[in-house]
């Protein structure tokens, strides 16, 4: 009898455990409102206080008003949050390429954007402002007549500026990638004003006392919303949580926290004077953050050079082979990759690969692949010239000894060719090192991107960029010195 009771108790306990496990994996809220354990948020972290990098102590963590809201939603809907970054004008394409589940970047649901993405309810409303030099009397849209106005590319401010340009005579727009660039254009007197959201304009105006901002009456329906891929099942559950947060005042509490914090931070920063007065002490605490971009830049460059050299060698052999299809392929390939912009190739590889193949290629992989394909096209011509510069007697001697063609190329011709074209290969490597800054457009935080992040956070421009330029210069000089030493050693071994 006792054995039966013990057995029955064991069976009941096992049943309870099994039911709890099944229930935990089939939580109705988790399955119906989210559908997967981890959701990816993509943002443009150069827009404090909405989203930006916390750079203290070299930390690489994206924080801000939007990020806190996203974390609150993740907690409520019980999913893990993964945060990725991109330039603002690449956010909607990232959704279309299924690289992310949703976008938060202070984005307004305009009719044009609604054609390519679904949106949540508006969770925060802000006003556009005209940022201009003090005493310029540019306070209303009509004051911009005959003026050049800066806007961030792909933003609602750009759309609103176009509407102003249609109504006000002589307004010329200048599209820029980032708000700090627009502010610097004002200070450089290249543009007369910029249209910027008020929460962001406050920080820039307080950090730059020679600037002022004035609010523009907002249109109905303007404000920040979450963007999703078309027909996303996430819109309804996200809307429920957002509405709950609005009703409870949680979003307003976060707005008070972040916008007042942003104001205090910019007010405590040393105010720059007019003219070019550099103060590198402002970026001293953030230098470790910039230096963290060096290993990534070097890794990217070395991988691209190594793989590009291999691919360029293959293409050069195709070009000098007597097999016509291979020669035609190599020539056509070189023509295409040398005839189109590298930035275009990078965007196509990064955004098109997931849609065409289903493989979620990372930003670093996309950068290495693109630069390998591109540098291979240039290197193939250099290597071909080096091969053809080798004395014909070398190949004739090898063939007379019965050495096969491919073995002759590998053991005899290519080593001599590479020795002859070493300076050209070093130049290609230096070019790749500097061009590595382009991968920042798809979210890789290398040296230049790190400097831009510091500039956006500190409301300054020159100091972090000059420091990044110094890093690039030191790396290039080190590479040049190493190549010169190698070339000298090779000459001595001849």
pLDDT in the model for residue 201: 87
Domain extent, residue 196, equals: 128-221
- Look at residues 193, 221, 249 and tell me which one is the last residue of a structural domain: 221
What is the mean pLDDT of the segment spanning 165-189? Answer: 88
pLDDT for residue 471 is more than 60: yes
Query: Is the same domain home to 150 and 97?
Result: no
Query: Is the same domain home to 160 and 90?
Result: no
CB-based contact 50:199 (threshold 8 Å): yes
Query: Is the same domain home to 299 and 381?
Result: yes
Query: Is the same domain home to 339 and 385?
Result: yes
Question: CA nearest 277: which of 473, 465, 460?
Answer: 460
Query: Is the same domain home to 152 and 252?
Result: no
Q: Has residue 177 been placed in a domain?
A: yes
Distance between CA 164 and CA 192 in Å, rounded? Answer: 15
Looking at the structure of the chain, the number of domains it has is: 3
- Look at residues 166, 192, 221 and tell me which one is the last residue of a structural domain: 221
Q: What is the pLDDT of residues 226-240, one digit of tens each?
A: 999 999 999 999 999
Query: Is the same domain home to 414 and 359?
Result: yes
pLDDT in the model for residue 368: 93
Q: Has residue 256 been placed in a domain?
A: yes
Share of the chain above pLDDT 70, in %: 84
Question: CA nearest 195: which of 149, 260, 140?
Answer: 149
Query: Is the same domain home to 135 and 196?
Result: yes
* Type and span of the H or E element at 131: strand 128-133
Q: What is the CATH number of the domain that holds 305?
A: 1.10.3720.10
pLDDT for residue 8 is more than 60: no
Mean pLDDT of the chain: 82
Q: Has residue 396 been placed in a domain?
A: yes
- The more confident residue out of 269 and 124 is 124
pLDDT for residue 24 is more than 50: no
pLDDT for residue 392 is more than 50: yes
- The more confident residue out of 391 and 369 is 369
Question: CA nearest 42: which of 88, 108, 111, 110?
Answer: 88
Query: Is the same domain home to 406 and 425?
Result: yes
10 confidence band (pLDDT: 50, 70, 90): very low
pLDDT in the model for residue 396: 67
Q: Has residue 178 been placed in a domain?
A: yes
Query: Is the same domain home to 392 and 472?
Result: yes
Provide the Cα torsion 454, 459, 463, 469; round to 10°.
Answer: 50
């Amino acid at each position: 009898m006792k054995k039966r009771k013990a057995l029955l108790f064991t069976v009941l306990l096992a049943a309870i455990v099994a039911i709890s496990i099944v229930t935990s994996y089939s939580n109705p809220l988790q399955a119906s409102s989210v559908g997967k354990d981890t959701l990816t948020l993509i943002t443009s972290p150069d827009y404090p206080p909405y989203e930006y990098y916390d750079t203290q102590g070299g930390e690489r963590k994206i924080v801000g008003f939007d990020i806190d809201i996203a974390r609150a939603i993740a907690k409520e809907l019980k999913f893990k949050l993964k945060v990725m970054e991109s330039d603002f004008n690449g956010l909607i394409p990232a959704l279309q390429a299924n690289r992310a589940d949703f976008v938060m970047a202070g984005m307004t649901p305009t009719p044009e954007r609604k054609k390519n993405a679904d949106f949540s309810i508006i969770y925060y409303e802000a006003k556009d402002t005209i940022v201009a030099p003090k005493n310029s009397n540019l306070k209303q849209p009509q004051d911009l007549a005959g003026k050049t106005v800066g806007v961030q590319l792909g933003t609602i401010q750009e759309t609103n500026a176009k509407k102003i340009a249609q109504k006000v005579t002589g307004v010329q727009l200048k599209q820029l990638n980032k708000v700090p660039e627009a502010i610097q254009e004002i200070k450089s007197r290249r543009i007369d004003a910029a249209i910027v959201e008020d929460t962001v304009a406050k920080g820039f105006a307080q950090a730059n006392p020679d600037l002022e901002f004035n609010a523009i009456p907002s249109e109905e329906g303007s404000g920040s919303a979450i963007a999703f891929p078309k027909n996303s099942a996430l819109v309804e559950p996200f809307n429920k949580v957002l509405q709950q947060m609005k009703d409870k005042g949680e979003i307003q509490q976060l707005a008070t926290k972040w916008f007042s914090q942003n104001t205090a931070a910019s007010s405590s920063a040393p105010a720059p004077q007019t003219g070019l007065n550099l103060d590198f002490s402002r970026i001293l605490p953030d230098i470790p953050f910039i230096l963290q971009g060096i290993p990534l830049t070097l890794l990217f460059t070395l991988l691209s050079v190594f793989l590009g050299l291999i691919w360029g060698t293959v293409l050069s052999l195709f070009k000098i082979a007597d097999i016509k299809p291979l020669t035609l392929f190599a020539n056509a390939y070189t023509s295409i990759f040398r005839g189109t912009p590298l930035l275009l190739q990078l965007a196509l590889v990064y955004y098109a690969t997931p849609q065409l193949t289903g493989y979620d290629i990372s930003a670093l992989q996309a950068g290495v692949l693109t630069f390998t394909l591109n540098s291979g096209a240039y290197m193939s011509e250099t290597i071909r010239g080096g091969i053809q510069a080798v004395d014909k007697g070398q190949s004739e001697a090898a063939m007379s000894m019965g050495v096969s063609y491919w073995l002759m190329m590998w053991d005899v011709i290519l080593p001599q060719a590479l020795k002859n074209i070493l300076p050209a290969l070093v130049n290609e490597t230096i070019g790749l090192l500097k061009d590595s800054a382009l991968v920042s457009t798809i979210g890789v935080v290398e040296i230049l991107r790190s400097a831009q992040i510091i500039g956006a956070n500190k409301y300054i421009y020159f100091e972090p960029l000059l420091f990044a330029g110094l890093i690039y210069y030191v790396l290039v000089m080190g590479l040049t010195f190493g190549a010169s030493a190698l070339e000298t050693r090779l000459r001595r071994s001849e």
